[in-house]
Structure 1
Amino acid sequence: MGDYAILIVDDDDGDRKMITRLLSRTGLGLVIEEARSTEELSSIETEHLDAVFLDYLLPGASGLNVLSKVRSRWPQAAVFMITGQGDEDLAKSAIQLGAADYISKASINGAALERMLKTGVGAARMQWKLDEQRRDLATFSEVLVHDFKAPIRAVNYLVEQIAEDIEAGQMEDVQESLRLLQKSSRHMLETIKSLSDHIRFDREEVFTDIAGSDLIDQALNALSQDLAEAGAVIDLDQVDATSRIYCRAPQIAQVLQNLIANATKFSRDGPPEISLRLESGPNGHLFEVSDRGIGIAKDQTERIFEPFKRAPGTTGIAGTGLGLATCKKVVLRHGGRIWCRSEPGKGTQIAFELPYGPGCAAEDRSRVG
């Protein structure tokens, strides 16, 4: 995805237009949004930004204070502080607070902006990857400490119990202990797989143009045995078979697999009933997985996307709490967004939207106007 998603925050209309005009002349692929104040900044809905050009003096706010808010909301973005005054102390403060670069308005030209974008965005992306690797290492350690204590103790106990039962000739007890041993072993394997899925998305994969229905088929095929055992009923009537998605296909197929697996796992009494939807919206391709399961309380619909956060009422259901965190991680890396709507006892809908890409934009945008 070659486009740079850029936000310009400046209360001066002329300065915003100048920066926009100079950026458009760089020859880089750009998607530009603008804001004139901190109030307008709060209304920006874009989940992913590559760069922010931030004016130091905004109405009623200091650019350095706003810088911290911008860095918190868009941690992957390179933030460039701009001002009408060339102040080295200000530049130092901006860099210390996480700005990628600093430039006075008198020094702004097309070449400078292009250099800042290429260098700053590249450095910001590299820093984000390093930070994410550190977070994943912390996740790995936490899983090993937290999720492996109980099954390892269980395995040790069962091995000792089996040895005693064999010595005593109690083969029926041995069979039961073996069954429990296999259960503990499966739990550890599932934990390792979940952790591996969460971490392996650090590796870049090539973006390709693929039919959205093929992604859904891949997910359903991977889950075919689980769906058959659960007697799941899958409704595909709302899947637009003509949609083509520009994405890292294995990762999006894994997202769909995780969401369908959750819909199966958290069903209520009776076979799971799952509806899949794929359509082209004004901002991108919309995927939705809906079920009629146990549901989630409204105050939990955002927390479930955090690592190790599981909704109340799911105790006793297998899982590490990493599945939805991994889904969010993948969707955000595609420049998309993911959200949840749910009602306890009535079901859950988890949807995600992916932006249009080079292989599909013309065809799909013509259908959605």
Structure 2
Amino acid sequence: MTQTQTVTGNTRWDRVRQPRVWGVHGRIAAALVVVVALLTGVVTAAVVTLLETRQVQREVVRDYYTGLRSSQNYFIGMLDSETAIRGYALTHDKASLKPLNESGQPWAHPVSGDLSKVLPDTRAVPKMQEAEEAARIWYEDWAAPMIQLIDSGANLTPADVNEGRRLFDNFRSAYTETINTLRPEREKAAVHLADVTNLGFAIGVLSAIICLIAGLVLWILMRRWVSRPVAFLAGEARIVADGELGHQVIGIGPPEFVQLGADVEMMRHRLITEVEQAEQARRETLQARAILEDQTQELQRSNRELEQFAYVASHDLQEPLRKVASFCQMLQRRYGGQLDDRADQYIHFAVDGAKRMQQLINDLLEFSRVGRLSAPSADVDLSECLENALLNLETAKEESAAEITADDLPVVHGEAPLLTQVMQNLIGNAIKFRAGAAPRIRIAARRDGEFWEFTCSDNGIGIEQEYADRVFLIFQRLHAKEAYGGTGIGLAMCKKIIEYHGGKIWVEPPPAGPLAQPRDGVWQPGQDGPGTTIRWTLPVSSDLKVLELEPTVKVTR
């Protein structure tokens, strides 16, 4: 068992065997529940206290004030009435009764009902009712008769005055009891208001203290449950990140961080394994690089030898070959017809072999120069390449009466001489390998993503599908040299040039169905063959804004 597996196994064993420990979410949730419960209780108490304060404040400021004011106004009205009657008794002047008329006749308008509305629980209401009853008796039993008596011109006797004083004193005594009841009740309510106000202030202070303590406790718990384990685990990870891969990573605190530490430890083991694999891959890469450098040096040596061979082939080999061909031709011209037929045939074979050898050497040199002796790349108009190729094939085109059509060809990036060679080889093969009818050759182009796809199709003798790959090999021929000339290097040259430019070339499979066949091995005049379609691709030039043109057919030279 690896160390990684051991750590994982211990972690799972701890989960099963050890008692369950609350995680971070559970702990934070429990702390928040406690804080919310405390705050809810405090807020509830504050709301209740506030409502009580408003109620007591309304009683003190409005209700008792209204009751005292109405009672005092009632008493003042009675005093004014009593004073007016005494003045009228002394002066017998009707103007003295003006305060009586303006007092509002309190004996006829009791205020105990209003007092019971604003202070339904006060004990002053019965006392006020007694005072109102005493006021009514004073007016009906003494004040009203005295006014009539004075109006008749009589004077009040001391007994009448004493009787009035006695009845008014009854009213005054009942009113005093009413006031003496209201004022202590109001003072008691004021004291209660002060107590409730102080309680509300205390609850507010307590709420602030609870919030402060709760915030401090939550900060301490979050530091203990989250910040400290995270900082510790980050330090462990930094130790490993600094290169000490052998340092064991552990997690502290709640189970989540312990499990996270175990996961980081597993990642450390995987990192060690990957580092070892990377180191092994690096060593293998260095070894492969050394081998590649050796092979590169060997390839460079081989290329130098190939260049030396090309130099020898182009100079040293062709010089004696030209002498052989020249002297064979001189023998043919000077002694032709003087020797027997067999000697003439031998001379002909020697001249033909020397010429073919020269052609093979030239083709081989030209093939080897592709990609090795190159001109600078540039933007090449393939339409110009096609025109140059047709100029080089002008004689063959006229002799075969070939009809050649082409679409508008794009501009690509490459080497114009090599791309001209591709056009010339493909069209030359289409003219060479023709059937009985005059060659009809078509060059087409279309945009396919990041590549241009080109087509060269003809009505010639065709290529069987089993030889579709073989025709691109150097010096591979499908026909005898007596039937069709050439060295078999044309399509191989095209393949090398196209691949050098980043494209590919292939033979399009023939269509399904019966194909045209020569009769008795000979193509009849005017007879079209199955034809051959060669396709190749070239990258779209990234430096040009090339527009794909609609296919338009035109007859070239």
Q: Distance in 2 between matches of 1:245 and 1:128?
A: 35
- Read off the aligned partner of 1:227 and give its amino acid letter: K
Which of 515, 536, 546 is 1:363 aligned to?
546
* Deviation by residue 1:56-77 (Cα, 9 ceiling, x = unmatched): xxxxxxxxxxxxxxxxxxxxxx
Matches within 5 A, 1:70-81: none
Q: Distance in 1 between matches of 2:435 and 2:538?
A: 30
2:380 matched to 1:223? no
2:381 maps to which residue?
Answer: 211
RMSD: 4.6
Q: Distance in 1 between matches of 2:349 and 2:394?
A: 25
Are the structure 2 counterparts of residues 162 and 92 from structure 1 closer, same or farther at C-alpha, using a change threshold of 3 Å? same
Of stretches 327-336 and 301-310 in structure 1, the one that deviates more from structure 2 is 301-310
Kindly state the Cα deviation for residue 190 of structure 1 after the two structures are TM-superposed. 2.8
Higher helix share: 2
Which of 429, 444, 463 is 1:296 aligned to?
463
TM-score, normalised on structure 1? 0.54
- For structure 1, list consecutive stretches of 5 or more residues without a partner in the other structure: 1-82, 102-122
Kindly state the Cα deviation for residue 178 of structure 1 after the two structures are TM-superposed. 8.2
Kindly state the Cα deviation for residue 254 of structure 1 after the two structures are TM-superposed. 0.8
Aligned length: 252
Q: Distance in 2 between matches of 1:301 and 1:336?
A: 18
1:275 maps to which residue?
Answer: 442
2:284 matched to 1:93? yes
Are the structure 2 counterparts of residues 213 and 319 from structure 1 closer, same or farther at C-alpha, using a change threshold of 3 Å? same
Kindly state the Cα deviation for residue 213 of structure 1 after the two structures are TM-superposed. 0.7
Which of 262, 266, 280 is 2:429 aligned to?
262
Are the structure 2 counterparts of residues 266 and 325 from structure 1 closer, same or farther at C-alpha, using a change threshold of 3 Å? same
Q: Distance in 2 between matches of 1:263 and 1:364?
A: 29
1:165 maps to which residue?
Answer: 335
Q: Distance in 2 between matches of 1:128 and 1:261?
A: 38
Kindly state the Cα deviation for residue 158 of structure 1 after the two structures are TM-superposed. 5.0
- Read off the aligned partner of 1:350 and give its amino acid letter: I
2:518 matched to 1:351? no
For 1:278, what is the secondary structure of its paired residue?
strand
Kindly state the Cα deviation for residue 130 of structure 1 after the two structures are TM-superposed. 4.0
Kindly state the Cα deviation for residue 217 of structure 1 after the two structures are TM-superposed. 0.9
For 1:209, what is the secondary structure of its paired residue?
strand
- Read off the aligned partner of 2:435 and give its amino acid letter: R
Matches within 5 A, 1:22-171: 85-97=276-288, 130=300, 133=303, 158=328, 162=332, 165=335, 169=338
- Read off the aligned partner of 1:308 and give its amino acid letter: F
Q: Is the 8 A contact 1:272 1:292 kept in 2?
A: yes
Kindly state the Cα deviation for residue 253 of structure 1 after the two structures are TM-superposed. 0.9
TM-score, normalised on structure 2? 0.38
1:338 maps to which residue?
Answer: 505
For 1:364, what is the secondary structure of its paired residue?
coil
- Read off the aligned partner of 2:357 and give its amino acid letter: M
Q: Distance in 1 between matches of 2:353 and 2:482?
A: 17
Are the structure 2 counterparts of residues 127 and 352 from structure 1 closer, same or farther at C-alpha, using a change threshold of 3 Å? farther
Q: Is the 8 A contact 1:162 1:177 kept in 2?
A: no
2:377 matched to 1:193? no
Q: Distance in 2 between matches of 1:138 and 1:306?
A: 24
Q: Distance in 1 between matches of 2:499 and 2:290?
A: 22
1:252 maps to which residue?
Answer: 419
Kindly state the Cα deviation for residue 340 of structure 1 after the two structures are TM-superposed. 0.9
Are the structure 2 counterparts of residues 294 and 132 from structure 1 closer, same or farther at C-alpha, using a change threshold of 3 Å? farther
Q: Is the 8 A contact 1:244 1:359 kept in 2?
A: no
Kindly state the Cα deviation for residue 92 of structure 1 after the two structures are TM-superposed. 4.0
2:374 matched to 1:240? no
Q: Distance in 1 between matches of 2:501 and 2:426?
A: 17
Q: Is the 8 A contact 2:435 2:459 kept in 1?
A: yes
- Read off the aligned partner of 1:198 and give its amino acid letter: F
Are the structure 2 counterparts of residues 133 and 293 from structure 1 closer, same or farther at C-alpha, using a change threshold of 3 Å? farther
From the CA coordinates, give the structure whose radius of gyration is larger: 2
Are the structure 2 counterparts of residues 182 and 164 from structure 1 closer, same or farther at C-alpha, using a change threshold of 3 Å? closer
Q: Distance in 2 between matches of 1:271 and 1:366?
A: 29
Q: Is the 8 A contact 1:219 1:253 kept in 2?
A: yes
- Read off the aligned partner of 1:273 and give its amino acid letter: R
